[in-house]
Amino acid sequence: MILLFEYDDNALYCPRNPTIGNVVIHNFYANHAEGGSVKAIGKYAHAEGRNTIADNRYTHAEGDSTFAGKMAAHAEGQETSAYGYYSHAEG
């Protein structure tokens, strides 16, 4: 299990209670979050704006209340969500 924790992208986190789960994830690097209530979870994830979540490898969420899940998804604008692999949503 230690090897999986250090070399895999799987993680457990709880946004409402950061003391639960794997808060420090060793293999998540090069992720960047800026703004208010933003989360960049995964390798090379980038979240910016307000209440945005970039929740996988290479994802990018920007704007207000946007969500980018699955690998390489991109969501931008207001209340947009990109759920598929390599998906893009804006507006």
Query: Residue 11 pLDDT > 90, yes or no?
Result: no
Nearest CA to 39 out of 10, 62, 70, 72 is that of 62
- Is 50 inside a domain boundary? yes
Mean pLDDT value across residues 12-24:
56
| Averaged pLDDT of the chain | 81
Which residues, in sequence order, are bridge partners of residue 21?
Answer: 13
Amino acid (one-letter) located at 2:
I
- Is 13 inside a domain boundary? no
| DSSP 8-state secondary structure symbol assigned to residue 65 | S
- Is 3 inside a domain boundary? no
**Gap between the Cα atoms of 47 and 37, Å rounded:** 10
More confident residue, 49 or 24: 49
- Is 80 inside a domain boundary? yes
- Is 36 inside a domain boundary? yes
- Is 6 inside a domain boundary? no
Structural domains of the chain, count = 1
- Is 4 inside a domain boundary? no
| Structural domain of 85 | 28-90
- Is 49 inside a domain boundary? yes
pLDDT at 29: 74
Mean pLDDT value across residues 12-23:
56
